[in-house]
Structures are given as C-alpha cells and as structure tokens.
Chain A
Amino acid sequence: MHHGLRLAAITLLLAALPAAALQLQPDPAGLNSAELNTSRQLLDEVQQLLPPLLQEQLPHTLHIGWSRLPAHIMGRATASGRILLNHHWLQTLVANPQATNLPGRQHPSLRHELQATLIHELAHLYDRGRFWPPARRSLQARCRTLQKTIGHAGLPQQCHGQTNRRFTLSDDPHLLDLAGWPQETGQKGRRTANNHQQLRSPDAYERARPAEFVAVNLEYFLLDPTYACRRPAMAAYLQQHFSWSPPHTVSCPSGLPHLNAGLDAETPLARLHPERIYQVHYLLAEPDNSWAGRWGHSMLRLVVCAPQRQPGPDCLLDLEHHLVLSYRAFVEDLQLSNWKGLSGVYPSRLFILPLQQVVEEYTRTELRSLASIPLALKPAQIQRLAQQAVTQHWSYDGRYYFISNNCAVETLKLLRSASPGPALHSLDSQTPAGLLQALKNRNLADTSALDNRNDAMRKGLFFDSHRERYHQLFAAVREALHVPQQRFESWLQQSALHRRPLLARSPDMRTTAALLVLEQAALRQQLQHIRNDLKLRYLGNHNDKALAETGQLMAGLLHDSSFLSRPADLLPQGYGLPQSADWHDPQHAVQQRYDRLRQMAGELEQRLPQLLTRAQNDELTAIQHNLHQLEQRLKQQHEQQGGLLLP
C-alpha cells in the first residue's frame, strides 16, 4: 500500500472512533487468571458490537464484576451504575468454551447468552442516562414550561408524552406504540398496562416493562443478523436512534410474509411489498341496525398495485391486489354474546383480507355500503404502517371490548404506530365515524373525492350497498313488465315459482339483466332466511341429533380456523416475522391446514341439505332454476341482437 494512502486510512480509522470511547473493564476481584482472560475476551467481543453513540454516551470506563448471584439470574445493573454478572456461568464457560445455552434461554450458546446479558445491562444503563439529542432535550424543556404555565389540556400536540420523560428510550411515545403499549382512548394519553403483542416473542421478559423491552431488543438488534427482517419497524427505530446499523445486518427477503385469511386465496402464504402500496385508505362500512354494527366498522385498505404497475392513480382499480386490514373479535362460540363483547372475553385480532371478500361481505351480504377515503400518508409512513401491520398479524392477540377497544380504537393505534408525527397522538376517538371526522379535522383524510357518488363508484372509492341497486332495478323492471307489486320487498316475498312466468316475458337484455340482479337478491334473502331458521332450531332444540352434530362440526371448523387470525400458531420456531430458517417448506405447512379446513367445510356442506325443510329446499332449487333461465335468456337475446363477442 502507498504510504500516503495508509496514513489516510489510519486517520480515517481514528476519526471513526468516538472521542472518549467506552471501556469495559473486568473487575479482577475473585477471578483466577483463566477466568480473567475469558472475561476480558467476552468484554472485548461485546465492545465490538456496541453502537458508537452508546459508547460515547456511557461513562468512560465501566467495571464489570463477576459475583455469586442465584443461578437463574445471569446479571444485573446496580443502582450505583455497576454491572454484575453471575460468576457461576463464567466458570462454566471457562470449563467449556463451546458450552450450549441453558434450557429455556433463547440465544444460541452460553457465550452468546453472556454477551446478551452484558448488552442487556448496558442497555439499562444507557436507558437510565437520559441521553437525549439536543433538539429533543430543548423540546422537552419547552413542553415542561408550557405545562407549568398553561396546564396539560392546552399543550401543543408535539408535547404529548414529552413533559415527564425520564429515560433515553423506554418512555418515548413512538417506541411504546411500536412495542405494544399503546395509548388508551379517553384516558388523557395514559398507556395500557398490558402488552398484547405476545406471540412470536424472542423473550417473554420483554413484555414485563418498557425498560425490559428496550434491553431485550437491543440484545437481538446487536447479536442477531436477522433482527431487521424479523422486527423491521423496531430495527428501523433503533437504526435511526443510533444513526448506525450493525455491520452484520443481512439483507431481508423482499416482501413481508403474511397469511391470507381468504380461504380461496391462490397462495395462502403471501408477501406484502410495501413499495408497491400506492395509498392507504380509511375503509368505513356504514352502520346497520344490528347491535354490533350500529357504529359502522373501521378498516384500512392497502391499495397495492399490480406487479407490473408503477404506483400511481391507476392502481386504484387493481382491485384484486388490494388488501384490507380489519380488527375483529374472534368469536369461537356459535352465538355472539353481547355480554362477552362488553367484558372483553373475545380476542381482538388483525385479519388481512382480500378487498374483494370484504366488498362482497358488506355490500352484497349485509347490504351496507363501503366508503374508501384516501389518507395523507407519505411513502415512508406507508412502509411503516405495512411493517407494523404485519408485525401485529404475527404477534398480536388482544382483547376486544365493544366500547374501549373496538375496531376504531385498534385502527387508530395502528395508524399511530405508523406515523410518529404528533398529529395522531392527541387524537382520541372510539367510534368509526368519529375517527374519520378527527382524521379530516387534522387534514389526514380527504373525503372530497367521494362528494360525487357516481364518480367515486367508478374510481373504486365507494362501493354501493346492493340494497340501493335492487330498488333502482326493480323500478325499471316494474315499468317494463307492468309488475303489479309496488314495492321490491313484496316482489321478493313471492315464491320463485310465482315470479317465473314474468321472467320469460322480459323483452330485452336490459330488463333481463335487471331481473337477474333481483333474482340474485332473492337467493341471498332465501339463504338468510334459512340461516336464521337453522339458528333458531339449533339453539332451541337440543334433541335434534343431526342438527347437534352439524353444530359441533361447525364449532370445530371455527376452532380450526383460528390460525387464520393467529398465524403464529402455525410455527413454534423463531420470533417476529417468520424467516426461512423457522419452517421447512412453509407453503406446504400452511396448505395442509387450509386443506383440512376445506375438507371439514366439504363435510359440513354434505350434511347441510339434509337439515333443510322440504319447503326450503324446493324454494332454493326454484330460485337456482330461475337464475339459470335468466342467464340463458341473456345469452339468447345477446345473440339475437348480434352482440359483441369477446375474443
């Protein structure tokens, strides 16, 4: 190497070192020379792993003592700022440098476990040191002054959670959102006591307290090359905080793995590509009259572009690629109980569903419209939202409370964790419509595109309830065919056989098409009717053996489908988002579970016709016949008028 170049390289190296770097010194008291050597080596290894910022901030020299702690305690940081590790495990490591880890611990070897312990305790010291960057420090000071003068209620948004900071990281509002201690609604910013991001955790201790969460996550951030793939949002947070990433960080497979909760999905295990999301919409199902639906339902819609398309407005019509994030109670019982809903018995889980399924369910089955309102999120925020949503999908199992932890509250919490800006932190709403209003007030949601209903429908921003379609089409049919019934409901109340003669009189495609839609409405109504009847019979009559067996099968199916909303149940290995090392042939494993569900569903299907009454069966068959007849008629009329054939 050229002399001058070498000098430059050395200068660079020196410049990279922090001015007063931390030194980890073993306290030699009670150690023999082999133990001292091993200890020194261990401390050097850890020293290499630490972020430069942390090394600058902590005291110049830290003495690490080895003391006789109870066997189950690996180490602790004392109130005076010393770190003590368990001497017993140092002895074990000296005796066998390759020692495997203790049962119940997660790191791969005893050496790693001791490194992790030291990192964990250093993290506590760092967290207690209040090492805030200057800008943050002056913000906090300003906020405290404001609180003294104008009180809590008048504090500006960016002061929320900043007036009483005591830790470098573990009381940062954004960290708490990511970690799983979100704000409760209507509690003036107070955070939940329990952390429900409980599945696929590397170490259950992380949920004990935010300080432990920080310490455990720093262990994995520094020691596990796959941490950023498993906990992308937390990794990004720590990288940003330290302005640094661990040199060992591996590049992650493209796309975030998730389970498609739609059973007829082509690939049960799919990947969400955040860079392909054009927009995020607030998806609001209008209220209905049912007890549980009277407030409407809040969801988020990810406008995912088709693979070949650049993100842009054209993606709005790539409907088959869009996904819906929907928090719902998981109800395993055969009957929904209002009491259980109020008292938090049902789990609250995040379902990732194809948009198509959601549109079908609301607009066709429940006859409720869906409004899709674009949210003003930047690409980086959209990426964070996707990361946090998929993280919740694999880790979250909360409690559903009709009032205080319902879909609107859950959706707000997810939005908050995605956009650390202050705007969402002071926002507080417990109802879907209230949340939309609050988002509008802060210019985060723009409903102007929905002002023109027809336009919004064409653009895929409004999905109309089919109830409105039925009424409009019935009016057209009534005029064309001189139907005696005044109201659509009366038309539907007739039996399919009574409607049939009129169907044959339809003069043109227009009328036949309208009749087809109305007959589909008849089919849905008939199914709804059978559904209610079966329910009443099942609940009211415990002696009907066939019904009881079917009910049991149904309960089994529901129970087995639990993994769709709690995919962590599929694989015991690893933590965070699943990586290839966690399961052998993931598609196969998921496919097996899907196949089993389908098989159970098939069995149920075979049993069901026997449960219908003769009259129910006849009516169902007659409607199907009508539908078939209308479809044939459409084809004939199309042919007669020389209609266009798609090539």
Chain B
Amino acid sequence: MRQLSLIATLGLALLAGTASASSLVASTDTLGTSLAKSSKGSSNASSSVGDDKVVLEAREDAAAFVGSNGSLRGAYLEAALQHIRQQIPGLHATDMQLAEAILAL
C-alpha cells in the first residue's frame, strides 16, 4: 500500500516547519510514508521468502550493506537475514550473498 507516497512527501509539504519539527508535529507524520519506497522495484519474483514484509523492509539496509562492502549493517537487514535463515534452514550463504539477493528481488 503505497498510494500515499506523493501526499506523504508533497502534501505534507504545505505544512510549514513540520519537516523539521516532528517533535511537535503529529498528524502530518502519521501519514508519512517515504517516496523512497515508491521507487521500489516491483517484486516480480514469485518467491515466498522474497515477498515477506520483513525482507522487503530490509531493502534500504541491504543496499547500504552491499554498497559499503558489509560495514553498514542495520537492524532491518539483520532481522531479514535471521528470517531468511529460519525459513530456509539448509541454506548455505554468506550475509553478503543474501543481501545481494534481497537487492535483486
């Protein structure tokens, strides 16, 4: 559900100060979903693991991990790696291979 993407980014825009004042601002943020995700490639792979929310949420972390050769390692990637290994117990793959696979989804 990303139909709010534009509104989230532009609509809220009319609100002065809000972007920098989230400690004060409320409802505007509650609509917020980042446009960054609207650029998410459509998941054409029909894989079950690849469709899992926890894996999809890890895409930005995975890009940072691959792009930094493993030094930027966020919690969303960590959660996705654990999830994938739990779902596919016999899987022999490094963290980097899994992060790349997430990026290629």
Contacts and interface: CB of A to CB of B under 8 A. Distances in A.
Interface of A: 261-264, 285, 288-293, 295-297, 317-320, 328-332, 334-336, 341, 346, 349, 351, 353, 356-357, 360-362, 364-366, 400, 406-407, 454, 457-460, 463-464, 469, 472-473, 476, 509-511, 513-517, 520, 523-524, 527-528, 530-532, 534-535, 538-539, 550-551, 554, 557-558, 561-562, 564-565, 597-598, 601-602, 604-605, 608-609, 611-612, 624, 627-628, 631-632, 634-635, 638-639, 643-647
B75 A535 contact: no
Contacts of B10: 527, 530-531, 534, 605, 608, 611-612
Contacts of B54: 319-320
B67 A551 contact: no
A517 B67 contact: yes
A383 B70 CA distance: 39
B75 A319 contact: yes
Contacts of A332: 27
Given A328-B23, A601-B4, A554 B15 contact: yes
19 contacts: A297-B22, A297-B23, A336-B16, A351-B26, A356-B57, A457-B74, A460-B79, A472-B72, A516-B67, A527-B13, A534-B13, A534-B14, A550-B14, A557-B31, A558-B27, A605-B3, A638-B101, A643-B101, A643-B104
Contact of B32 (A341, A360, A515, A550): A360
B104 A334 contact: no
A527 B35 CA distance: 9
Chain A interface secondary structure, helix, strand, loop or mixed?
A: helix
Given A561-B31, A605-B11, A646-B102, A473 B76 contact: no
Given A264-B4, A558-B27, A565-B30, 12 more contacts: A296-B23, A360-B32, A516-B63, A516-B67, A524-B36, A601-B4, A609-B6, A634-B103, A634-B104, A646-B47, A646-B102, A646-B105
Contacts of A611: 10
Interface residues of B, number: 73
Contacts of B67: 473, 476, 510-511, 513-517
User: 5 tightest CB-CB pairs across the interface, nearest first?
Assistant: A514-B67, A531-B13, A290-B20, A460-B75, A336-B17
Contact of B31 (A263, A289, A476): A263
Contacts of A454: 71, 73
Q: Is the interface of B mostly helix, strand, loop or mixed?
A: helix
Contacts of A362: 22
A346 B30 contact: no
A327 to B, nearest CB: 9
Interface in B40-64: 41, 45, 47-50, 53-55, 57, 60, 62-64
Interface in B60-88: 60, 62-69, 71-76, 78-79, 82, 84, 88
